[in-house]
Structure 1
């Protein structure tokens, strides 16, 4: 990766979780530009508006499941229909759900790289950030 900054999009309607993720990012030692959207529709609108801007397009997208307007599953359906052709985007479901059904459902989306249970830890975030840097 030529740019040392990592772009991350967090799609979550919980302000406390957004705050926690920001604090976790600060503790990783990586330079991360984090953008957050409170629902899937705002995220789709955002991604559509920046599709051609490689400088700010996210390297990592974290998606909560339960949100208003467009939930995480609906976001994934809309995201995959966009057919965004970008260098590798690492997309993970980030949820407090402990249901095996949700974990299995996430595997059914070609754009999803994995399922992370909240809260996001420093160690897990470092693993994700290292994927981008390598």
Structure 2
């Protein structure tokens, strides 16, 4: 069961995409605590801090593929190495049109799916409803 507030982690190096997602979050009507990180390494560091401080993990993580420092695939590998047992829904959120990226998403048991940018209000609401099991 979800807490009253949904924790969302967005990993994307494009400030415009982050701004758009923030606006979409505001329009869902859900109480969402959104944290954004500009690359996978910042996100891994953030998750390590959350775990160390015994704070609630994100319920939902949206991951861009192409980013500097640590890309989306490298983030997923590092995330899996954290050994998090709590349910966290991970989705690749990308503008990639390459079929191999969509197929690669399926090779990770921790990744629930691939979403093409831009994220819509309706799609975010669907993801939130899935969190409610």
1:14, distance to aligned residue in structure 2 (A) = 0.3
* 2:6–2:58 CA contact under 8 A, matched in 1: yes
Residue of structure 1 equivalent to 2:22 = 22
Kindly report which structure 2 residues correspond to 1:1-134, keeping only aligned pairs within 5 A, or say none: 1=1, 3-51=3-51, 55-86=55-86, 88-134=87-133
1:2 to 1:119, Cα distance in 2 relative to 1, 3 A: closer
What's the TM-score, normalizing by structure 1? Answer: 0.94
| RMSD between aligned residues | 1.3
Gaps of at least 5 residues in structure 2 are: none
Gaps of at least 5 residues in structure 1 are: none
* 2:2–2:131 CA contact under 8 A, matched in 1: no
SS in structure 1 of the partner of residue 58 of structure 2: coil
